[in-house]
């Protein structure tokens, strides 16, 4: 007997790879967050995802349009979390990012952290 998995709401910010991975101090922000979580013995509840597959979901059609209009639909990264407050703080801290949420697992988002990222032509799909 298959027991259905319960839906989880994931929150995210998304921006161009250039902005999120080069122009802004995201590495430092995430490193400090990890250190804080370790001090307070909290499990990590956020992830950096390059070329996130969840952006293809029908749940996010409005965002897909915005990403295509800004020409970053195929060159973006996201920080995903189950902590809405953290994502809201990141949106305020980084400013030039889009923020949203989605529910998973669903028919079109079976893995919330799946990626379309490729290295040297080798697909890293999960």
Q: Where are the domains of the chain?
A: 8-123
Decide: helix, strand or coil at residue 78. Answer: strand
76-37-40 Cα angle (round to 5) = 165
Write down the pLDDT at residue 120. 62
CB 109 within 8 A of CB 12: no
Supply 116's token pair.
């379309």
pLDDT higher than 80, residue 23: yes
d(CA 36, CA 7): 27
Write down the pLDDT at residue 27. 93
Per-residue pLDDT averaged across 94-109, rounded? Answer: 94
- In whole numbers, what is the pLDDT of the chain averaged over residues? 90
CB 10 within 8 A of CB 82: yes
* Higher pLDDT among residues 13 and 125, named by residue: 13
Residue 41 phi/psi, 5-degree rounding, is: 55, 50
Write down the pLDDT at residue 105. 94
CATH domain 8-123 topology:
Alpha-Beta Plaits (3.30.70)
d(CA 84, CA 73): 23
* Higher pLDDT among residues 117 and 49, named by residue: 49
* Proportion of the chain above pLDDT 70, given as a percent: 90
Write down the pLDDT at residue 57. 95
Supply 120's token pair.
């040297």
């Amino acid at each position: 007997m298959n027991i259905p998995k319960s839906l989880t709401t994931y929150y995210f910010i998304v921006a161009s790879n250039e902005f999120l991975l080069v122009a802004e101090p995201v590495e430092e922000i995430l490193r400090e967050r990890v250190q804080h979580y370790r001090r307070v013995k909290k499990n990590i509840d956020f992830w950096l995802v390059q070329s996130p597959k969840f952006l293809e979901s029908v749940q996010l059609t409005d965002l897909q349009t915005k990403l295509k209009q800004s020409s970053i639909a195929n060159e973006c990264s996201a920080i995903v979390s189950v902590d809405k407050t953290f994502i809201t703080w990141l949106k305020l801290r980084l400013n030039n990012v889009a923020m949203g949420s989605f529910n998973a697992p669903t028919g079109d988002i079976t893995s919330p952290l799946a990626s379309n990222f490729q290295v040297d032509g080798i697909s890293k799909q999960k």
